[in-house]
């Protein structure tokens, strides 16, 4: 089984610029003017150009009243990006256009930085310390 990550963006070239510079990814394949594959991470990321205000779909049907917007939004799904140096990762992402939503917090399992990309998608940087999640696993 493989996972593919799909992210809607309102500006494909700006999305490419952000993800290449923030995460060190590279452009793989292009799919016309509306999509691009970014490679170099553990799973490919597909950026899909979708206009602001366009309808959102679930199970192939438009969701009544749901439209895409690219201001910060909440979703129960987000990416965690495991890094070796969280401070450097945060600096690189901010330089590329990300927003740091809270100061880095440190716990016995590791460090965590809550972030958002320029399209409103939340993500976290995680730097494991000691035994990582095994420090808190029961």
How many structural domains comprise the chain?
2
Tell whether 27 and 49 lie within a shared domain.
yes
Average pLDDT over residues 47-70: 88
Same domain, 88 and 54: no
Backbone angles phi, psi at 70, to 5 degrees: -120, 25
φ and ψ at residue 92, rounded to 5 degrees? -65, -45
**Beta 99-100 vs 26-30: how paired, if at all?**
unpaired
pLDDT confidence of residue 77: 86
Q: How far apart are CA 120 and CA 104, in angstroms?
A: 19
- Picking from 19, 52, 69, the residue at the C-terminal end of a domain is 69
pLDDT at 60: 83
> Domain span at residue 13?
1-69
Dump pLDDT digits (tens) for 76-85.
888 999 999 9
Examine the domain organization and report whether 27 and 83 are in the same domain. Answer: no
**In this structure, how many other beta carbons lie within 10 angstroms of the beta carbon of residue 128?**
16
The answer to whether residues 2 and 55 belong to one domain is: yes
pLDDT > 90 fraction of the chain, expressed in percent and rounded: 82
The enclosing domain of 9 has a CATH number of 3.10.180.10
Is 94 found in the same domain as 55?
A: no
Check residue 54 and report its DSSP letter. Answer: P
From start to end of 34-109, where are the E strands? 35-39, 45-49, 55-58, 61-67, 79-82, 99-100, 105-106
pTM over 0.85: yes
Helix (H, G, I), strand (E, B) or coil at 90: helix
């Amino acid at each position: 089984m493989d996972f593919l990550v799909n992210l809607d963006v309102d500006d494909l070239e700006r999305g490419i610029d952000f993800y290449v510079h923030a995460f060190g990814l590279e452009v793989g394949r292009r799919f016309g003017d509306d999509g691009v594959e970014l490679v170099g991470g553990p799973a490919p990321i597909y950026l899909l150009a979708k206009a602001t205000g366009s309808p959102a779909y679930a199970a192939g049907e438009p969701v009544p009243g749901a439209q895409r917007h690219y201001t910060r939004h909440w979703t129960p799904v987000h990416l965690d990006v495991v890094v070796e140096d969280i401070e450097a990762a945060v600096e690189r992402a901010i330089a590329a256009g990300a927003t740091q939503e809270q100061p880095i917090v440190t716990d016995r399992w590791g460090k965590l930085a809550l972030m958002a990309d320029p399209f409103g998608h939340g993500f976290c940087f995680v730097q494991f310390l000691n035994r990582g999640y095994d420090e808190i696993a029961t």
